[in-house]
Chains A and B, each alone.
Chain A
Amino acid sequence: AIQLTQSPSSLSASVGDRVTITCRASQGISSALAWYQQKPGKAPKLLIYDASSLESGVPSRFSGSGSGTDFTLTISSLQPEDFATYYCQQFNSYPHHTFGQGTKLEIK
């Protein structure tokens, strides 16, 4: 089974900071990767799909890149509403989805 490892597991940052979260797959998954944002008590929200495609309605400060085994989610200028937990998800072995363990982004 394909494993996804996110780093870091947690991150403290300030409003206005540029933040990068990494997701590494245990084997190549082409561009079959998505990123989700989850706030406490809420369902996950799709941000990025196909590694770099921005979901409709998601602010342009969010971007994704990578292919194969290494992927990144970048937030160019953190806003107060961006403090949440972020998950990567691979669908190369669809329909057996796999999620990363999550990265909790906290206010410094």
Chain B
Amino acid sequence: EVQLVESGGGLVQPGGSLRLSCAASGFTFSSYEMNWVRQAPGKGLEWVSYISSSGSTIYYADSVKGRFTISRDNAKNSLYLQMNSLRAEDTAVYYCASPGVVLRYWGQGTLVTVSS
């Protein structure tokens, strides 16, 4: 059974940093493209970032470009999102999702709250 488990969310002050993790199991992680998708409280879904299976190709939404960094460790079956210069508008539940095109598998999400 495919499982994606996010962790690392929490309360952070504006301008602060946070690193999210997504632990994958039940499939060959190194063969799958991965994404981060977020959802602000009471709002819709917003794609955040994509990484290819090897990690060589990366894309970001304009709203996070230059502040967020996606990465993966295929040996550890893990996906990461380093979030810097956080803003109030980054407050959301962050989901890891795969595969790359049609998002068939989702984690349960981790809540990031940016507030002073």
Contacts and interface: CB of A to CB of B under 8 A. Distances in A.
Interface in A47-94: 49-50, 55, 87, 89, 91, 94
B47 A97 contact: yes
Interface of A: 34, 36, 38, 42-46, 49-50, 55, 87, 89, 91, 94-102
Contacts of B108: 42-43
Interface residues of B, number: 21
B20 to A, nearest CB: 15
Contact of A99 (B45, B50, B109): B45
Nearest to B60: A96
Interface of B: 33, 35, 37, 44-47, 50, 59, 61, 95, 97, 100-104, 106-109
A95 B107 contact: no
Nearest to A49: B102
Given A43-B109, A87-B45, A102-B44, A95 B103 contact: no
A46 B104 contact: yes
A55 B97 CA distance: 16
B51 to A, nearest CB: 9
Nearest to A98: B47
B109 A95 contact: no
B100 A44 contact: no
